[in-house]
Structure 1
Amino acid sequence: MRWWMRHEARQSERRAPIVPEDARRLIDAGFDLVVETSTRRAFPAREYAAAGCRVVPPGSWTKAPPEDWVLGLGEPPAEPWPLRHRHVFFGHAYRGRPAGAALLERFAAGGGELLDLEHLVDGKGTRLAAFGYWAGYAGAALAVLHRAGLLTLPVAPLTRPELEERLRLCRRSARAGRAVSGGAVSVLVTGADGRCGRGARDALAAADVDTTGWGPRDTTPLPRGRLLAHDVLIHAIGPDHPVPPFLTRADLSVPGRRLSLLCDISCDLGSPFDAVPVYDRLTDWDRPVRRLPGTGRPLDVIAIDNLATLLPVESSRDFSAALTPHLLALATGTTSGQEPWERSQNAFRRATAARAARRVA
């Protein structure tokens, strides 16, 4: 079984789905792992070569035999448009996002197949390999740095110790601010017990920020007034079905609104799953914070859809450690190991069948 780990097309992406130490595990198990070079990836090509991988130039996967597998994180580059291989990456193609339909068109044109990592789940629907913890950690850290006036632009990748040192600076700044103003910033984390929520709470704890965490019981029904009474909302919920919005444009005109910063970890913009439909475009690493116009009291938004790449080494190592056993199980063909991949495959086939039915109708 030959796998190609491709260079990521996205300019801001620093992560890798498989890190060199896990590449060695795959090689030792009989994998033929080909790795494309990347000047942006946090792990240099020489480390993959030392692990036994064949290293090739970016874009080489496009010439691979059709039976080969292609592994990545985000969507492949726009060319070639038809996708003829079996791909494994985060496609986000089934949540109603505008780009999802175009991605399915590419697979239809090439006859390939997507095993979306978003749908590599266990029998309870829990993702088996995810970046959620680090996305939550990074998003909350950005929110704290912005509030403290310590967010430097453009934002560059960091290690966890480097980021934690910046959060400690925020802690000292916050203490000084409380001494002057007599108050503390209040932060609300929705989805506080999930992966993203746990990461967010850990970052906030590192900065010594007062935090309230809400789970499902706290939001049914939603206490909207209490939500608006916080300074910062870290939205860390990625629902698997449409839900009533947590925050709307009408809420931004409520008298006495204290909320002034939204960090949306889920980034379901344009999707029926979007629970904070108050902004119309994502932010990025060059401009991570955007102030919404026409809201009376200012509301700043952080909505970066690859937050975990702020901490590329730690997040990649965690993700790779979780994914590698499932790649090994896929190769050995064990029944239990196949089940998560079958769920992902079935999700793709249902989506393509629904797309074909809509075309006929």
Structure 2
Amino acid sequence: MKIALIKEGKIPADKRVAFTPEQILELHRVYPQLEVVVENSDVRSFEDIEYMSRGITVTDDIEDCDVFMGIKEVPIVQLKDEKTYVFFSHTIKKQPYNRALLQAIIQKQIKLIDYEVIKNPQGERVVAFGRWAGIVGAYNGLWTYGKKSGLYDIKRAYDCFDREELDRELHKVQLPPIKIVVTGTGRVGKGVVEVLLEAGMRQVDSHDFLNAYFEEPVFTVLSSSHFNRRKTDGGFDRIEFYKEPEKYESHFLKYAEVSDILMAAAYWDNRAPRLFSPEDIKSDDFNISVIADITCDIHGSVPTTIRASKVLDPVYDIDREHFEELPPFGKQTSISVMAIDNLPTELPRDASKDFGEQLMKYFIPELMKPRSEMIEKATVAKEGDLTLEFIYLKEFVAENSQENEKY
């Protein structure tokens, strides 16, 4: 089998890669029948010379490869007919801006394996960048607070060579006795916690967070049960909530009244209640002034996320009274929103290494098997049609693309 690590073609280009040079050497050692080559790239965080110096083939000619592995969506014009591709396609939730991409994949009889749905028998994702989204998102949230308050100044995450340098920057953060509320206890939330602890903050439970005064900055981490309640009786049942979230309402406002920063890191189902409403932020009791929306669901769980922000333009403000976008930090009373939608690319070397380790542990062994149930369930399309797992996308694919192609 021959795998190509393809050059990222989406603009702006993502600097991440599926495998580092050292990981490819390890793959060649463990699987003598496997060859991994690297397509030339001037944007990848690991430069071509780093692969070449280890004897790994770097080339423009990847036509004879069997599997093409990238990170972000592959531009339609770069797709090769009847090949196997592995990347984050952002199509499985019927994203309209990628309808044309999925149509082209089917037309070209491409086998598409989507990282997002590579799961173990328990239904848990086994390859993801979530931890790094949490790490960079939390760092950017602290950077935003520093800019808004003028209390300290740290580098942008993308200006840090690696996690080690980012941690050194965190030690420069000087916070007053503020409170930070974090939603989400999964990979993303755990990444947030890593950063806040590294910055010297203390974690407290939700009860003390709401009721106690602290002479130091503190944070708390909330799960769904902390800020959602059943409409009928105020109770909470985890299984019911995930199955029928429309039966629930938010009671997050009590946290908004005592928090200075919100770091949103919880998965959100569009049937579930939003944390708060646009009307809520008009209240003098709504104390949050900085929101790091790591989930970046547009008009989703965090209503102030009216659009995604960009790495080079990371923050916009929302006017509390009129719910209108303002320039960043343009008004002291406005809410500053950081909602970058590709956070891990700001620390691409560390994120790539971690992702490659996951692929080596969970994906490559399955790929080398004659038949893999895990890979079959993660295959969105093959041989010119959707697979049974993703047949629910049939009407979505059949529709004419109404949105401009991104590619």
Matched, 1:226 2:254: yes
Tell me the distance in 1 between the aligned counterparts of 2:178 and 2:66: 52
Q: CA deviation at 1:38?
A: 2.0
Q: Which residues of 2 match residues 1-361 of structure 1 at below 5 A?
A: 1-9=1-9, 10-28=11-29, 29=31, 30-57=33-60, 60-61=61-62, 64-65=63-64, 68-80=66-78, 84-149=82-147, 150=153, 152=155, 155-170=158-173, 173-174=174-175, 178=176, 184-191=177-184, 193-209=185-201, 210-221=218-229, 222-229=250-257, 230-239=259-268, 242-269=271-298, 274-293=300-319, 294-295=322-323, 297-333=333-369, 338-345=372-379, 349-350=387-388, 353-357=391-395, 359=398
- Number of residue pairs matched? 340
What is residue 181 of structure 1 aligned with on the other side?
A: none
Q: 1:317 to 1:80 in 2, by over 3 A?
A: closer
Tell me the distance in 2 between the aligned counterparts of 1:247 and 1:158: 37
Tell me the distance in 2 between the aligned counterparts of 1:258 and 1:124: 40
* 1:143–1:302 CA contact under 8 A, matched in 2: yes
Tell me the distance in 2 between the aligned counterparts of 1:75 and 1:346: 14
Q: CA deviation at 1:151?
A: 5.0
Task: Give per-residue Cα distances to partners, 1:191-239, cap 9 Å, x unaligned.
Answer: 1x21110110110111123111001221232322223221111111124
Tell me the distance in 1 between the aligned counterparts of 2:106 and 2:169: 47
* 1:117–1:129 CA contact under 8 A, matched in 2: yes
* 1:154–1:286 CA contact under 8 A, matched in 2: no
Tell me the distance in 2 between the aligned counterparts of 1:47 and 1:82: 27
Unpaired stretches in structure 2, ≥5 consecutive residues: 148-152, 202-217, 230-249, 325-332, 401-407
**325-334 or 134-143, which moves further after superposition?**
325-334
Larger Rg: 2
**118-127 or 82-91, which moves further after superposition?**
82-91
Helix, strand or coil for the counterpart of 1:146?
Answer: helix
Code of the aligned partner of 1:189: V
Tell me the distance in 1 between the aligned counterparts of 2:57 and 2:197: 43
* 2:180–2:262 CA contact under 8 A, matched in 1: yes
* 2:72–2:89 CA contact under 8 A, matched in 1: yes
* 1:154–1:287 CA contact under 8 A, matched in 2: no
Helix, strand or coil for the counterpart of 1:7?
Answer: coil
Helix, strand or coil for the counterpart of 2:119?
Answer: coil
User: RMSD of the TM alignment (CA)?
Assistant: 2.7
Tell me the distance in 1 between the aligned counterparts of 2:266 and 2:374: 22
Higher helix share: 1
TM-score for the superposition, normalised by structure 1:
0.85
Tell me the distance in 1 between the aligned counterparts of 2:12 and 2:380: 31
Helix, strand or coil for the counterpart of 1:121?
Answer: coil
Q: CA deviation at 1:142?
A: 0.8
**128-137 or 142-151, which moves further after superposition?**
142-151
Q: CA deviation at 1:110?
A: 1.5
Q: CA deviation at 1:154?
A: 9.4
Unpaired stretches in structure 1, ≥5 consecutive residues: 179-183
Tell me the distance in 1 between the aligned counterparts of 2:221 and 2:108: 45
Q: CA deviation at 1:351?
A: 7.2
Helix, strand or coil for the counterpart of 2:171?
Answer: helix
